[in-house]
Amino acid sequence: MTSTTPRPEAEARRRRTVIWIVALATFGLVFDGYDLVLYGAVVSTFLRDPTHIGNVTPAIAGLLGSYALVGVMVGALLAGAVGDIIGRRKVMLMSYAWFSVGMALTAMATTSIAFGWLRFSTGLGIGALLATTAALVSEYAPADKKNLINAITNGGIPLGSLLAALLAILLMQHIGWRGLFWMGALPIVTLLPLAYAKMPESVVWLASRGHMDEARAVSERTGVPLPGTVSVRTEAIAPAGTGKIGFAGLFSTHYLLPTAVLGLMSATGLMLVYSLNTWLPEIMLRAGFNAKGSLSFLAVLNGGSLFGALAASRAADRFGPKPVVAACFTTGAMALLLLTLGFPLAGLLVIVAVVGLGTSGTQTLIYGFVANYYRTNVRAAGVAWCAGFGRLGGIGGPMLGSTLIGAGFKLDAIFYVLAGLGLVGALLTLLVPMARAQTARRPGQVEENQGPATPLQRPA
């Protein structure tokens, strides 16, 4: 393997490229988070006023909350099937257009049936975006900052969630829920044109598929070195024609166990995320807070997840993501238990912020964990599996909340159930084998990532 020192001008181009990619990818995921929490912010309106989309009971509200997640699951799995074949850039551009149109059409829904189908359709685009964003960002991020940069990018999700809660507090009474959904369509006239001009395809992916002329051209334009020209030990690259691609590689003997455990871990985390983001405002309304007060808890939840994940990502780059994710799950579970102890308002807000770290913040770290776990030619499929199969838990989240509330469970009992889910997530994280992103080798072939274990590769 050749080792060279990057030229200063190439390094400058690389920094600019990484900044553009991170900014565009983060902006895209802001609208994923916006969509996630926007439904939770308006569901209380639907429950109390049938003039909007018809009569909505807690059971129907749970189903409507799950429709989008079914779409996310299907979209993620479909994108995972093609993202490692046709590339990250094409899938991401199509996703921006798709979910923008879906949000606009949802703003015009007049029945719960139409609303549900449009939520499903919007979810297809969001799922496809999730499945490819982490893969592209991971392949451009510097080796020693992969978890931090993935956390910054995926921090767009809680940032969008926070934005949805704040806009609902400030604007709901002025523009209604339809106006808030119209705002979710803005990427088609803002993000999509910028991404078309400024978002390159992955150099690593192009090289792994044998498109060497295009890879050289993108490498020269972006300053990102071709695989094999700079010593990069954390990137696992299978040469064109070697190793199984996409889901075939993901479910090969080499990856089968970690794929199963990572999928279950993501499903547990997303069940927590969607339970809380859908039902926390309603739970707090029933606890005696007014409408704006209950939405404030939603804003604090997502603010805690955003800043907590950024802080935790630094620890993940130093110690490896596995122990940090397990610790965050456990912290979230303990915080959910504290919510049952009757703290005053200021204390409750602090605890809810910690719950945000242990739920949405943990899921942010999980996406980075998974993106860096797999080799290039199965990476998009791996993230798609995490986002897609994990959505089974997300689908169950709103339904779990509606079941517990509809059955008359006390608020403390609901928090006990959610805390139990957090502990299950911590246990599953500890069961993930050490990172196995190794290349498929011919006899005598040297691996790109041969060398001492990196923090990602250490056993926890």
How far is it, in rounded angstroms, from Cα 160 to Cα 166?
10
Give pLDDT, residue 238: 43
Q: In angstroms, rounded to a whole number, what is the distance separating the alpha carbons of residues 268 and 265?
A: 5
Question: Residue 301: which of 426, 164, 428, 178 has the closest Cα?
Answer: 164
Domain for residue 442, yes or no? no
Domain for residue 1, yes or no?
A: no
Within-domain flag for 282: yes
What is the four-CA torsion angle of 289, 290, 294, 299, rounded to 10 degrees? -130
On whether residue 95 sits in a domain, the answer given is yes
How far apart, in whole angstroms, are the C-alpha atoms of residue 152 and residue 141?
11
Count H helices and E strands in the chain, helices first.
17, 0
Domain membership of residue 379 (yes or no) is: yes
User: For residue range 283-324, what is the model confidence (pLDDT) as tens digits?
Assistant: 888 777 766 667 788 788 878 887 887 788 888 878 888 999
What is the rounded distance in angstroms from the CA atom of residue 79 to the CA atom of residue 90?
10
For residue 2, is it within any domain?
A: no
Regions of the chain short of the pLDDT cut 50: 1-5, 230-242, 436-460
What is the predicted pLDDT for the residue at 237? 41
Angle, vertex CA 372, rays to CA 318 and CA 68, nearest 5:
120
Q: Give the H/E segment covering residue 259.
A: helix 256-286
- Name the residue among 402, 399, 366 with its Cα closest to residue 382: 366
Chain-centroid distance, C-alpha 182: 22
The structural domain count of the chain equals 1
- In the prediction, which pLDDT does 229 show? 54
Global confidence as pTM: 0.69
What is the domain-level CATH number for residue 49? 1.20.1250.20
Residue 169 lies in a domain: yes
Domain that holds residue 13: 8-437+447-457
Residue 28 lies in a domain: yes
